[in-house]
Amino acid sequence: MKNVGDNLASSLFNPDLFSPIIFISDLHLCASRPQITTAFLDFLQNTAIKANSLYILGDLFEYWAGDDDVTDAHHQSVITAFHTLANSGVKIYFMHGNRDFLIAENFSKYTQITLLQDPALIDLYGKKALLSHGDALCTDDVAYQNFRLLVRSPEWQSEFLNQSLESRKQQIENIRLRSEQEKSQKSMLIMDVNQEAVEALLMAYDYPELLIHGHTHRPNEHHIQLNGHNITRWVLGDWYEQGSYLACDQNGCQSICLAEIKIKP
């Protein structure tokens, strides 16, 4: 990873010279961690504003209870910042994560963000890039996949969204607790992507040159050889202690770290 403080002028890649396409995920923004939101708003104003477009590949928020949960100051500050960025000409795309899959059309309207399906195939400077949040690839995590199947069904969502915001938030708190308990019992291997699921997805999409996803919080660049095709799997980092993004231009992609986020104890 490259630190922004490094001498970018001497490198091939310089976000000040080109208008890159930027990818981020797993920010987990919430009012109780204001330093992360501050770092993110700073990133939008100073870095993303120079981009051609910004792709957010899920888990932007710690959780999203529904598009009616927009009145608090924290959510408003993020929505306003997106609106400003979109008005400056940067195209913004958002794909659901496992924590904010209830983001819907109203959020998209307030922010001028375009919602993407998971997975989504895009043209990245002439190369095919497949984008995903990544949770669907963790097929060894059977308990999670069953939970995912339930809460992604339109019937479940419509029943859930018909309940009061207060009741929804309480249920989400319960699931968060249960998820943390269960995760502490799961192996790291189970909570990573399954290689066969990755290969099946790449084959289903006719061998894109790139697969970009988040979710596992294990930022890395993996090189895959599959049936004679060379494919790069980029895993995006989270924003718990340090913001980071993947910037791509005509010369390729580069993972860039921002300054450390200092969380007060």
Applying CB under 6 A, which residues contact ligand LP5? 63, 98-99, 102, 135, 138, 141, 143-144, 147, 151, 171-172, 175-176, 178-179, 182-183, 186, 191
- Shortest-Cβ-distance residue relative to Mn ion: 215
| Among Mn ion, ligand LP5, none, residue 102 binds (CB under 5-8 Å by kind) | ligand LP5
Q: Minimal distance in Å, beta carbon 117 to ligand LP5?
A: 18
Q: According to the binding rule CB under 5 A, does residue 215 interact with Mn ion?
A: yes
Residues facing 115 on adjacent strands: 94
Cα torsion angle, 133, 60, 146, 115, sign: negative
Q: Minimal distance in Å, beta carbon 50 to ligand LP5?
A: 30
Type and span of the H or E element at 27: none
Q: Which two tokens stand for residue 145?
A: 């996949």
Q: Pick the closest to residue 62 from 73, 53, 74, 71 (CA basis).
A: 74
Nearer to ligand LP5, 11 or 195 (CB): 195
Q: Which single residue is written with the structure tokens 């790449």?
A: 202
- Sequence-distant (6+) residues with CB within 8 A of 93 are 53, 54, 55, 56, 113, 114, 115, 116
Q: State which of positions 87-116 bind Mn ion (CB under 5 A).
A: 97-98
> 3-class SS at 195?
helix
Q: Minimal distance in Å, beta carbon 261 to ligand LP5?
A: 18
| Among Mn ion, ligand LP5, none, residue 263 binds (CB under 5-8 Å by kind) | none
